[in-house]
Structure 1
């Protein structure tokens, strides 16, 4: 379980290495915050990855313009496809869809 401090997650995709989450969240690892960063909160604006064994946020933090949130993920052999309502993903223009190669 991973807490966002009261913000919404809309989508999830699981690979062997990570549980990818996307939505309107600002943080992960935030059980003590309420619409604010509590102690130990990890900044993950709109997109993040969680360790499937520990439930804690992984270091991966590409960021995105928050908007309403990530609405779709698709993990393929080529990478993780992200469908969103905003155009900025990883500080680049991606026209509401982007892809991250999987490690």
Structure 2
């Protein structure tokens, strides 16, 4: 029996308890983003687009203080500023995928 997962719910087609999804599931893909449009966590923009009943929009400039990134390993919620450029989770040291920076404009203005 796997341990209970605590923290916010993650929506979309996840493949494990660490927020990996059908689109991104490498060892480093362990974050979920809380979308500004709905306040719900999804593993990626594709998961949101496929399952939400609305279009996504990025967090506006100046939202760096918002807790909008979830570490899938320890379930810590990070601020946008705390996540951007962080190579790993400040709480559990789980490594983050450095290629996620390519999607920042989708999530953050």
Q: State the TM-score, normalizing by the size of structure 2.
A: 0.30
Greater fraction of residues in strand:
1
Greater fraction of residues in helix:
2
